Copies of this chain bind each other. A is one copy, B any other.
């Protein structure tokens, strides 16, 4: 980073992340209860992970240190999509290692897991680390989406780490990457290789979370950026009074981001995928609800509003899901009929003719370009579901419904819709104070787990709704979080994604308020993330974390 940097970058380089009090004096690792996976899969997990199964919780506690101080070399790798705070996690790891022994080394593997198995890395010196403190992005060492699975890849990692004389690898990633950490840890145990593997919980989607890991890093910052933008859009909507804004937000599986942003901004409507699934809602039913709201608002002279949509919604809508299944079959069964047919309208008509009547009706109600996308499969025979712009699907369906209601004399308003998608804007932001502190603490704790000789652990964090000084840090065996799920036809160990719980405090708070939000303009404007100023502004935690802590 030899180039000039912005004024804020400069100011943030000087920020010292707050550390939990326990790290201020002498501390030790204390082992607690043994933690096991969910009962139904214990045998399988035990069989797959004999070396790292049935391990105890590890907690950092004040007291006489029981951690060795021999000089060690540690590797670190970033895995998957970027999340705010990644650089701070590395900085925390670096500082803790250097504090334990100034001779300790940290190397950073380049561009994700493939950097480990192909042996591409850089030395993380003080100079390198210092220039990335409190910055956004994953560009210090890059990231990648490869997994470490095949024998060649496992052996590649082994070779690299042996050559480096590294005692440990820290994998910073989400549920899949932490599962991968567990597999790699087990591999090294089986091979009697003294290399430990430690995971750090990262994902802006907020779905790698449990009682021992109260937050995945990046969620706080990313949600705040999306809430800033949605708040701006809400204010724009009520100022211009002429547009309905349909805002799609990150979250393919879980709707934590949409829920958090809804709680922070109080839009007129927010779809939560978990509720859609639980109640088996159809596209038609969701469109009912939105259209009814629009009609009521029009009657009150309000032809504007804001609606939040989680990225993955279409797959949770029961009629849409049934249609997708039917399409998958039809494209397979009539493959030869589609072959070489280049006219997109013909393809779409042919497909519709092969679907069950109800599915065909859903299909024909979709925007034309979505219909076209659904006539094509990828080389693996999968539909291109991720290319469906769900916000446009919903806008089109609402438009059709309102047109009909207008003809029937039931609606007399104006409907003009705008679509937005906020995703990439939030992944590489300079971390909020919360994420700057949290990631630093995660990295700092990771170093202690390594010093304690642990492997197959993810750094754990509890009491996060309290001030940083009182956070409880430690480690949780990855095996305790594993379950088995079918992936591409095979049962695989995975960390179950934490979904929005409909009886959880965040959803309940949303549920209690949402009827009011439909007709009142109860919008809140959180504004941009503040790094300085009043503590209730710049150190605020997410609503999700705050509300969940009330139920603990």
Contact = CB atoms under 8 A, between A and B. Distances in A.
A516 B526 CA distance: 37
A232 B429 contact: yes
Nearest to A422: B425
A532 B533 contact: yes
A532 B537 CA distance: 10
A223 interface: no
A264 B7 CA distance: 11
Nearest to A111: B241
A527 B3 contact: no
Interface centre among A81, A232, A264, A537 (most CB of B within 10 A): A232
A236 B232 CA distance: 22
A260 to B, nearest CB: 14
A235 B428 contact: yes
A303 to B, nearest CB: 12
A451 to B, nearest CB: 29
A398 interface: no
Contacts of A430: 525, 527
B137 A530 contact: no
Interface in A58-92: 81-82
Given A11-B533, A245-B424, A6 B525 contact: yes
A136 B528 CA distance: 12
Contact of A369 (B138, B369, B530): B369
A382 interface: no
Chain A residues touching B, range: 35 or more
A4 B233 CA distance: 18
A228 interface: yes
Contacts of A136: 232, 235, 525
- 7 interchain residue pairs of minimum CB distance: A532-B533, A528-B528, A235-B428, A137-B235, A138-B239, A8-B527, A236-B428
Contact of A3 (B425, B522, B538): B522
A16 B6 CA distance: 26
B537 A8 contact: yes
6 contacts: A3-B520, A8-B525, A82-B236, A233-B425, A245-B424, A532-B534
B531 A238 contact: no
A9 B527 contact: yes
A6 B527 contact: yes
Interface string A235-251: 11011110101000000
A253 B359 CA distance: 46
A9 B111 CA distance: 40
Contacts of A11: 533-534, 536-537
A530 to B, nearest CB: 6
A243 B423 CA distance: 13
Interface in A388-431: 418, 420, 424-430
A519 to B, nearest CB: 13
B4 A524 contact: yes
B238 A137 contact: yes
A366 interface: no
A309 interface: no
